[in-house]
A and B are shown apart, each in its own frame.
Chain A
Amino acid sequence: MPAAILARLVLLEARRSGLPWLAAGALVLALALAAFLSQVALTEARALQLAVVAALLRACAVFLVAAQVAASTLREINDRGLELALASPLPRTSQYLGRLAGFMALGALLAAVFSLPLFALAPPAAVAQWAVSLACEAALVAAAALFFSMTLAQITPAIAATAGLYLLARSMAAIQAIAAGPLTEPSLASRIARGAVDAVALLLPRLDLATRTEWLVYGAPDGGVLGRALLGIAISAAVLVAAGLFDFQRRNA
Chain B
Amino acid sequence: MLAVALVAQVAWRAASRPGAPAAVELPPAPSARLLRLASFGEPEAGARLAMLYLQAFDLGGGGTTPYRNLDYRRLVDWLRAVLELDPRSDYPLFSASRVYAEVPDAARSRLMLEFVYDEFLRDPNRRWPWLAHAALLAKHRLKDLALARRYAAAVERHTTAPNVPLWAKQMEIFILEDMNELEAARIMLGGLLESGAVRDADEAKFLRQRLEELEARTGRKSSK
Task: List residues of chain A with CB under 8 Å of any chain B CB.
Answer: 37, 40-44, 47-48, 50-52, 54-55, 58, 167, 170-171, 173-175, 177-178, 181, 207-208, 212-214, 217-218
Do B45 and A171 touch across chains, with their CB atoms under 8 A apart? Answer: no
Q: A48-B48, A177-B33, A218-B88 are in contact. Are A171 and B55 (CB under 8 A)?
A: no
- Cα A189 to Cα B78 in complex, Å, equals 31
Chain B residues within an 8 Å CB radius of A178: 33-34, 37
Q: Which of A37, A51, A54, A171 contacts B37 (CB 8 A)?
A: A171
Residue of A nearest to B99 (CB): A42
Do B33 and A55 touch across chains, with their CB atoms under 8 A apart? Answer: no
Do A51 and B48 touch across chains, with their CB atoms under 8 A apart? Answer: yes
Q: Which of A44, A171, A217, A218 contacts B41 (CB 8 A)?
A: A171
Do B48 and A47 touch across chains, with their CB atoms under 8 A apart? Answer: yes
Do A174 and B88 touch across chains, with their CB atoms under 8 A apart? Answer: no
Give 10 A-B pairs besides A43-B95, A47-B44 with Cβ atoms closer than 8 angstroms.
Answer: A42-B95, A43-B91, A44-B90, A50-B44, A167-B40, A170-B40, A171-B40, A173-B41, A213-B45, A217-B44
Residues 30-61 of chain B: 1 if any A CB is under 8 Å from the residue's CB, otherwise 0?
00011011011111110011011001000000
- Cα A43 to Cα B34 in complex, Å, equals 24
Residues 82-106 of chain B: 1 if any A CB is under 8 Å from the residue's CB, otherwise 0?
0000001111001100010000000
Chain A residues within an 8 Å CB radius of B51: 41
Do A43 and B90 touch across chains, with their CB atoms under 8 A apart? Answer: yes
- Cα A81 to Cα B178 in complex, Å, equals 86
> Which 3 residue pairs across A and B have the least CB separation, nearest first?
A51-B45, A170-B41, A208-B41
Do A55 and B45 touch across chains, with their CB atoms under 8 A apart? Answer: yes
- Cα A58 to Cα B42 in complex, Å, equals 10
Chain A residues within an 8 Å CB radius of B43: 213-214
Residue of B nearest to A179 (CB): B33
Do B40 and A42 touch across chains, with their CB atoms under 8 A apart? Answer: no
Do B90 and A55 touch across chains, with their CB atoms under 8 A apart? Answer: no
Q: A40-B52, A44-B91, A47-B89 are in contact. Are A181 and B44 (CB under 8 A)?
A: no
- Cα A51 to Cα B39 in complex, Å, equals 11
Query: Considering residues A41, A51, A181, A218, which has the most beta carbons from chain B within 10 angstroms of its beta carbon?
Result: A51
Chain A residues within an 8 Å CB radius of B34: 178
- Cα A207 to Cα B40 in complex, Å, equals 10
Chain B residues within an 8 Å CB radius of A43: 90-91, 94-95
Q: A42-B99, A217-B44 are in contact. Are A174 and B90 (CB under 8 A)?
A: no
Residue of A nearest to B93 (CB): A43
Chain B residues within an 8 Å CB radius of A48: 48, 52
Some 9 contacts from A to B, beta carbons below 8 A apart, are: A37-B52, A40-B52, A41-B51, A42-B91, A170-B40, A178-B37, A213-B44, A214-B43, A217-B44
Do B90 and A175 touch across chains, with their CB atoms under 8 A apart? Answer: no
- Cα A130 to Cα B52 in complex, Å, equals 25
Chain B residues within an 8 Å CB radius of A181: 33
B125 to chain A, nearest CB (A): 15
Do B44 and A175 touch across chains, with their CB atoms under 8 A apart? Answer: no
Chain A residues within an 8 Å CB radius of B94: 42-44
A125 to chain B, nearest CB (A): 18
A59 to chain B, nearest CB (A): 8
Q: Which of B37, B40, B45, B48 contacts A41 (CB 8 A)?
A: B48
B222 to chain A, nearest CB (A): 48
B179 to chain A, nearest CB (A): 32
Q: A41-B52, A44-B91 are in contact. Are A214 and B44 (CB under 8 A)?
A: yes
Chain B residues within an 8 Å CB radius of A214: 43-44
B139 to chain A, nearest CB (A): 23
